[in-house]
Amino acid sequence: MVQVDDRMYGVFHISNNLPQFVEDPRSYLPPVPECDLCIVLEMHPDLLLELPEVLSQKKVKALIAPADAPDWVKPGLRTQLKELLEDFHIEYAFPKPYCSLDVKESHPFINQFISHFRIGRPRIEVDVKGDTIHTARCIRSAPCGSTWYICEQLKNVPITCVVETIAAAHHSYPCNASMVKDSEIKDTLLHEAGYLVREAGLKALEREGPTVSGADNTGCVEKCYPAPISCT
Torsion of CA 179, 92, 51, 122, to 10 degrees: 40
Q: How far is CA 160 from CA 132, 138, 143, 196, 219, in A?
A: 8, 20, 27, 18, 9
Domain borders along the chain are 25-94, 123-224
pLDDT digits over 137-182, tens only?
Answer: 999 999 999 999 999 999 999 999 999 999 999 999 999 999 999 9
pLDDT band at 216 (very low <50, low <70, confident <90, very high): low
CB 141 within 8 A of CB 188: no
CATH for 123-224, among 3.90.70, 3.30.1360, 3.30.390, 3.30.310? Answer: 3.30.390
Query: What pTM, to 2 d.p., does this model score?
Result: 0.85
Label residue 16 exposed, middle or buried (CB < 10 Å: 0-12, 13-18, 19+).
exposed
